[in-house]
């Protein structure tokens, strides 16, 4: 089941700040602003998208890179690599199920959140067969979205990042 706007269970800014403080990290203005941006977006964002969304509290791109590294290390943020060499980030566990997958367009990099996890049974069987515990997985799907397919049919084949209603 795909969701155009996945059901968020986004923690409040105060809850995120408490989690960061609980890991012996200061909650700077820039970190708070970055967490607020991630909390407001239903899909993974690149460092540059985060930078562009920080209109009220500007900070340099180097600060964003350092902050994202720290936020991933503390477990507040998840890092995704969709095979294009560009890291994307979203809040850890902010989806209704706490676990989800992505469907990514190979042309325009559009991302669709997939809430269903049909591999849970396979994961359990693999763990049992090999004697592992605490097994997890990450699974991404790649394809060509309907808009890019239509553009291909029209003879247009250029990379066009989609503009989203959230502005990124």
pLDDT at 143: 93
Which residues, listed in sequence order, are joined to residue 79 by a DSSP beta bridge?
89
Kindly state the average pLDDT of the residues 98-114. Answer: 81
pLDDT for the residue numbered 5? 40
Quote the distance between the C-alpha of residue 121 and its chain's center.
24
Residue 159 vs residue 134, higher pLDDT: 134
Q: Map tokens 């325009």 to a residue.
A: 108
Share of the chain above pLDDT 90, in %: 22
DSSP secondary structure string for all residues of the chain = -EESS--B-PPPHHHHHHHHHHTT----HHHHHHHHHHHH-SS-EEHHHHHHH--SS---HHHHHHHHHHHHHTTSEEEEE-SSS-EEEEETT-BTTS--EEEEETTT--EEEE---TTHHHHHHHHHHHT--S-----EEEE--HHHHHHHHTT-----PPP-TT--
Segment 58-62 mean pLDDT: 86
- Tell whether the model's pLDDT for residue 120 goes beyond 70: yes
Tell me the pTM.
0.62
Q: What is the mean pLDDT of the chain?
A: 77
User: Do residues 102 and 113 make contact, with C-beta atoms less than 8 angstroms apart?
Assistant: yes
């Amino acid at each position: 089941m795909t969701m155009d706007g996945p059901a968020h269970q986004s923690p409040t800014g105060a809850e995120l700040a408490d989690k960061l403080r609980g890991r012996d990290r200061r909650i700077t203005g820039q970190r708070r602003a970055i967490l607020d941006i991630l909390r407001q977006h239903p899909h993974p964002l690149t460092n540059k998208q985060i930078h562009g969304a920080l209109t009220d509290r500007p900070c340099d791109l180097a600060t964003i890179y350092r902050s994202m590294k720290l936020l991933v290390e503390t477990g507040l943020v998840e890092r995704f690599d969709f095979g294009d060499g560009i890291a994307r980030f979203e809040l850890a566990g902010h989806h209704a199920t706490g676990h989800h997958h992505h469907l990514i367009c190979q042309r325009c990099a559009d991302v669709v959140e997939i809430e269903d996890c049909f591999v849970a049974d396979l994961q359990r069987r693999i763990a049992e067969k090999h004697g592992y515990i605490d097994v997890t997985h990450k699974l991404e799907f790649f394809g060509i979205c309907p808009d890019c397919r239509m553009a291909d049919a029209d003879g247009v084949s250029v990379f066009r990042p989609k503009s989203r209603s959230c502005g990124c």
